[in-house]
Amino acid sequence: MSFAPIINALAMTPETRVEERVPKKLFVENGAPTAGDKRQINEGISEVLWQAALKPANLGVPIFRDAVREYLEVVVLTAHFRSTAKTARLVELIHRAIPYPVLLISLTGNMASLSVAHKRWSQGEAGKVVIEELRVTAPFRPDAPTAEEAQFLARLSVVGLPQGDLFVLYQSWVDSILALEAAQITGAFRPPTPENSAVLREQLDAHGQAVRELAALRAQAEKETQLNRRVELNLTIKRLEARIAELVQNL
Protein backbone atom coordinates (compact mmCIF):
# COMPACT_ATOMS: atom_id res chain seq x y z
CA MET A 1 0.00 0.00 0.00
CA SER A 2 1.26 3.50 -0.82
CA PHE A 3 0.26 7.10 -0.22
CA ALA A 4 -0.25 7.66 -3.95
CA PRO A 5 -4.09 7.98 -3.95
CA ILE A 6 -3.96 10.72 -1.31
CA ILE A 7 -0.91 12.49 -2.72
CA ASN A 8 -2.59 12.48 -6.12
CA ALA A 9 -5.77 13.89 -4.58
CA LEU A 10 -3.79 16.77 -3.08
CA ALA A 11 -2.62 17.74 -6.59
CA MET A 12 0.33 19.71 -5.23
CA THR A 13 2.32 21.68 -7.79
CA PRO A 14 5.95 20.70 -8.47
CA GLU A 15 7.10 23.98 -6.92
CA THR A 16 5.71 22.94 -3.53
CA ARG A 17 7.22 19.46 -3.48
CA VAL A 18 10.11 18.65 -1.13
CA GLU A 19 10.15 14.82 -0.92
CA GLU A 20 12.86 14.53 1.72
CA ARG A 21 13.21 12.02 4.53
CA VAL A 22 12.72 13.43 8.03
CA PRO A 23 15.06 11.82 10.59
CA LYS A 24 13.46 10.32 13.69
CA LYS A 25 15.92 12.35 15.73
CA LEU A 26 13.89 15.47 15.01
CA PHE A 27 10.80 13.99 16.68
CA VAL A 28 12.79 12.50 19.56
CA GLU A 29 14.38 15.85 20.36
CA ASN A 30 11.38 18.12 19.75
CA GLY A 31 8.22 16.13 20.35
CA ALA A 32 8.92 13.35 22.86
CA PRO A 33 8.56 14.39 26.51
CA THR A 34 9.05 10.90 27.99
CA ALA A 35 11.35 7.92 27.54
CA GLY A 36 8.32 5.89 26.43
CA ASP A 37 7.55 8.41 23.71
CA LYS A 38 11.13 8.28 22.48
CA ARG A 39 10.93 4.50 22.34
CA GLN A 40 7.63 4.67 20.43
CA ILE A 41 9.18 7.00 17.85
CA ASN A 42 12.20 4.78 17.33
CA GLU A 43 10.27 1.50 17.29
CA GLY A 44 6.88 2.51 15.87
CA ILE A 45 7.87 4.75 12.95
CA SER A 46 9.22 3.15 9.82
CA GLU A 47 9.69 6.37 7.83
CA VAL A 48 8.54 9.99 7.69
CA LEU A 49 8.76 11.97 4.46
CA TRP A 50 8.43 15.72 4.07
CA GLN A 51 6.26 15.74 0.96
CA ALA A 52 5.63 19.44 0.45
CA ALA A 53 5.88 22.94 1.88
CA LEU A 54 3.08 25.34 0.95
CA LYS A 55 4.16 28.97 1.26
CA PRO A 56 3.76 32.32 -0.50
CA ALA A 57 6.87 31.88 -2.65
CA ASN A 58 5.65 28.67 -4.32
CA LEU A 59 1.87 28.88 -3.99
CA GLY A 60 1.08 32.58 -4.07
CA VAL A 61 -1.00 32.36 -0.88
CA PRO A 62 -0.21 35.06 1.74
CA ILE A 63 1.06 34.23 5.21
CA PHE A 64 -1.25 34.65 8.20
CA ARG A 65 -0.26 36.51 11.35
CA ASP A 66 -2.16 37.82 14.35
CA ALA A 67 -1.67 37.98 18.12
CA VAL A 68 -2.45 34.26 18.52
CA ARG A 69 -0.51 32.55 15.72
CA GLU A 70 1.75 32.98 12.72
CA TYR A 71 1.47 30.73 9.66
CA LEU A 72 4.49 31.19 7.40
CA GLU A 73 4.03 27.85 5.65
CA VAL A 74 1.97 24.66 5.77
CA VAL A 75 3.79 21.33 5.83
CA VAL A 76 2.59 18.07 4.27
CA LEU A 77 4.11 14.93 5.82
CA THR A 78 3.63 11.21 5.26
CA ALA A 79 4.44 8.64 7.95
CA HIS A 80 4.70 4.86 7.71
CA PHE A 81 3.89 3.24 11.06
CA ARG A 82 4.74 -0.32 12.00
CA SER A 83 1.93 -2.67 12.99
CA THR A 84 2.96 -2.56 16.67
CA ALA A 85 2.95 1.25 16.83
CA LYS A 86 0.73 3.27 19.16
CA THR A 87 -0.51 5.30 16.22
CA ALA A 88 -2.64 7.84 18.11
CA ARG A 89 0.28 8.88 20.28
CA LEU A 90 2.72 8.99 17.37
CA VAL A 91 0.40 11.23 15.37
CA GLU A 92 0.25 13.66 18.29
CA LEU A 93 4.04 13.59 18.79
CA ILE A 94 4.69 14.34 15.11
CA HIS A 95 2.33 17.32 15.15
CA ARG A 96 3.91 18.64 18.34
CA ALA A 97 7.43 18.41 16.93
CA ILE A 98 6.82 20.62 13.87
CA PRO A 99 6.36 24.38 14.50
CA TYR A 100 4.25 24.84 11.35
CA PRO A 101 0.68 23.61 10.75
CA VAL A 102 0.92 20.06 9.39
CA LEU A 103 -1.25 17.88 7.21
CA LEU A 104 -0.09 14.42 8.29
CA ILE A 105 -0.94 11.37 6.22
CA SER A 106 -0.16 8.23 8.20
CA LEU A 107 -0.24 4.67 6.94
CA THR A 108 -0.37 1.44 8.95
CA GLY A 109 -0.64 -1.64 6.79
CA ASN A 110 -3.44 -0.98 4.28
CA MET A 111 -5.11 1.73 6.33
CA ALA A 112 -4.47 5.45 6.02
CA SER A 113 -5.49 8.35 8.21
CA LEU A 114 -5.21 12.12 7.87
CA SER A 115 -4.73 14.51 10.74
CA VAL A 116 -4.56 18.27 11.27
CA ALA A 117 -3.97 20.56 14.24
CA HIS A 118 -4.07 24.33 14.38
CA LYS A 119 -1.14 25.84 16.31
CA ARG A 120 -0.70 28.97 18.37
CA TRP A 121 1.91 30.73 20.43
CA SER A 122 2.41 29.23 23.88
CA GLN A 123 1.16 31.42 26.71
CA GLY A 124 3.77 30.03 29.08
CA GLU A 125 6.95 29.92 26.96
CA ALA A 126 7.92 32.79 24.69
CA GLY A 127 8.57 31.68 21.11
CA LYS A 128 7.17 28.18 21.64
CA VAL A 129 4.30 26.86 19.52
CA VAL A 130 1.64 24.48 20.86
CA ILE A 131 -1.20 22.59 19.18
CA GLU A 132 -4.77 23.69 19.89
CA GLU A 133 -6.80 20.68 18.82
CA LEU A 134 -5.93 17.50 16.95
CA ARG A 135 -8.44 16.11 14.47
CA VAL A 136 -7.82 12.66 13.00
CA THR A 137 -9.88 10.72 10.48
CA ALA A 138 -10.82 7.13 11.18
CA PRO A 139 -8.54 4.77 9.21
CA PHE A 140 -9.63 4.00 5.66
CA ARG A 141 -8.26 2.30 2.55
CA PRO A 142 -7.12 5.03 0.13
CA ASP A 143 -7.03 2.55 -2.76
CA ALA A 144 -10.64 1.48 -2.13
CA PRO A 145 -12.48 4.42 -0.56
CA THR A 146 -16.16 4.42 0.24
CA ALA A 147 -18.35 6.95 -1.53
CA GLU A 148 -18.01 9.32 1.42
CA GLU A 149 -14.24 8.91 1.56
CA ALA A 150 -13.98 9.50 -2.19
CA GLN A 151 -15.92 12.76 -1.78
CA PHE A 152 -13.53 13.74 0.99
CA LEU A 153 -10.47 13.01 -1.15
CA ALA A 154 -11.93 15.09 -3.98
CA ARG A 155 -11.92 18.15 -1.70
CA LEU A 156 -8.23 17.98 -0.77
CA SER A 157 -6.76 19.46 -3.96
CA VAL A 158 -4.46 22.34 -3.07
CA VAL A 159 -5.42 24.34 -6.13
CA GLY A 160 -9.09 24.03 -5.18
CA LEU A 161 -8.67 25.30 -1.62
CA PRO A 162 -9.53 28.88 -0.58
CA GLN A 163 -6.48 31.05 -1.24
CA GLY A 164 -7.14 34.00 1.11
CA ASP A 165 -4.18 33.17 3.35
CA LEU A 166 -2.46 30.11 4.82
CA PHE A 167 -4.80 29.97 7.82
CA VAL A 168 -7.87 29.93 5.55
CA LEU A 169 -6.25 27.29 3.33
CA TYR A 170 -5.41 25.05 6.27
CA GLN A 171 -8.84 25.55 7.84
CA SER A 172 -10.39 24.18 4.67
CA TRP A 173 -8.60 20.88 5.30
CA VAL A 174 -9.76 20.97 8.92
CA ASP A 175 -13.35 21.48 7.77
CA SER A 176 -13.13 18.59 5.30
CA ILE A 177 -11.78 16.26 7.99
CA LEU A 178 -14.65 17.29 10.27
CA ALA A 179 -17.08 16.52 7.44
CA LEU A 180 -15.50 13.09 6.93
CA GLU A 181 -15.72 12.37 10.66
CA ALA A 182 -19.44 13.13 10.46
CA ALA A 183 -19.86 11.08 7.28
CA GLN A 184 -18.22 8.06 8.89
CA ILE A 185 -20.99 8.25 11.49
CA THR A 186 -23.97 9.17 9.32
CA GLY A 187 -23.01 7.57 6.00
CA ALA A 188 -23.45 10.86 4.12
CA PHE A 189 -20.71 13.35 3.26
CA ARG A 190 -21.98 16.92 3.47
CA PRO A 191 -19.57 19.52 2.06
CA PRO A 192 -18.36 21.70 4.91
CA THR A 193 -18.69 25.46 5.16
CA PRO A 194 -16.73 27.90 7.34
CA GLU A 195 -20.02 28.93 8.96
CA ASN A 196 -20.92 25.46 10.32
CA SER A 197 -17.41 24.30 11.19
CA ALA A 198 -17.49 25.25 14.88
CA VAL A 199 -20.97 23.78 15.39
CA LEU A 200 -20.00 20.56 13.63
CA ARG A 201 -16.90 20.21 15.79
CA GLU A 202 -18.97 20.63 18.97
CA GLN A 203 -21.51 18.06 17.76
CA LEU A 204 -18.80 15.55 16.89
CA ASP A 205 -17.13 15.99 20.27
CA ALA A 206 -20.48 15.57 22.04
CA HIS A 207 -21.18 12.43 20.01
CA GLY A 208 -17.77 10.96 20.81
CA GLN A 209 -18.21 11.66 24.52
CA ALA A 210 -21.69 10.10 24.53
CA VAL A 211 -20.46 6.98 22.72
CA ARG A 212 -17.66 6.53 25.26
CA GLU A 213 -20.11 6.99 28.15
CA LEU A 214 -22.49 4.46 26.58
CA ALA A 215 -19.74 1.85 26.27
CA ALA A 216 -18.78 2.37 29.92
CA LEU A 217 -22.39 2.10 31.09
CA ARG A 218 -22.99 -1.10 29.12
CA ALA A 219 -19.88 -2.66 30.60
CA GLN A 220 -20.99 -1.60 34.06
CA ALA A 221 -24.50 -3.00 33.52
CA GLU A 222 -23.14 -6.38 32.45
CA LYS A 223 -21.21 -6.68 35.70
CA GLU A 224 -23.96 -5.35 37.98
CA THR A 225 -25.53 -8.03 40.21
CA GLN A 226 -28.15 -5.93 42.02
CA LEU A 227 -31.40 -5.93 40.05
CA ASN A 228 -32.59 -2.45 41.01
CA ARG A 229 -29.21 -0.94 40.13
CA ARG A 230 -29.18 -2.78 36.82
CA VAL A 231 -32.63 -1.41 36.00
CA GLU A 232 -31.38 2.13 36.72
CA LEU A 233 -28.36 1.60 34.48
CA ASN A 234 -30.53 0.27 31.64
CA LEU A 235 -32.79 3.33 31.86
CA THR A 236 -29.73 5.59 31.70
CA ILE A 237 -28.48 3.60 28.72
CA LYS A 238 -31.80 4.08 26.93
CA ARG A 239 -31.69 7.84 27.51
CA LEU A 240 -28.11 8.01 26.28
CA GLU A 241 -28.95 5.97 23.18
CA ALA A 242 -31.72 8.45 22.40
CA ARG A 243 -29.28 11.32 22.89
CA ILE A 244 -26.78 9.72 20.50
CA ALA A 245 -29.52 9.18 17.88
CA GLU A 246 -30.41 12.88 18.19
CA LEU A 247 -26.77 13.91 17.76
CA VAL A 248 -26.41 11.71 14.68
CA GLN A 249 -29.56 13.25 13.21
CA ASN A 250 -28.05 16.73 13.62
CA LEU A 251 -24.65 15.93 12.14
Instruction: State pLDDT tens for residues 16-59.
Output: 999 999 999 998 888 778 888 899 999 999 999 999 999 999 99
CA 87/CA 145 separation, integer angstroms: 21
* 163 in the same domain as 227: no
* 164 in the same domain as 70: yes
Q: Decide if pLDDT at 155 tops 80.
A: yes
* 245 in the same domain as 215: yes
| Per-residue pLDDT, 95 | 96
* 95 in the same domain as 207: no
* 245 in the same domain as 183: no
Q: Are 94 and 102 in contact (CB under 8 A)?
A: yes
Q: Comparing C-alpha atoms, which of 192, 147, 201, 188 is closest to residue 173?
A: 192
Question: Of all helices (H) and strands (E), which one includes residue 112?
Answer: strand 111-121
Name, in order, each residue with C-beta under 8 angstroms of 67's C-beta and a sequence gap of 6 or more: none
DSSP code of residue 140: B
* 228 in the same domain as 170: no
Q: How many domains does the chain have?
A: 2
Q: Decide if pLDDT at 148 tops 80.
A: yes
pTM of the model: 0.89
| Per-residue pLDDT, 1 | 59
Please report whether residue 130 resides in a domain: yes
Please report whether residue 196 resides in a domain: no
* 213 in the same domain as 94: no
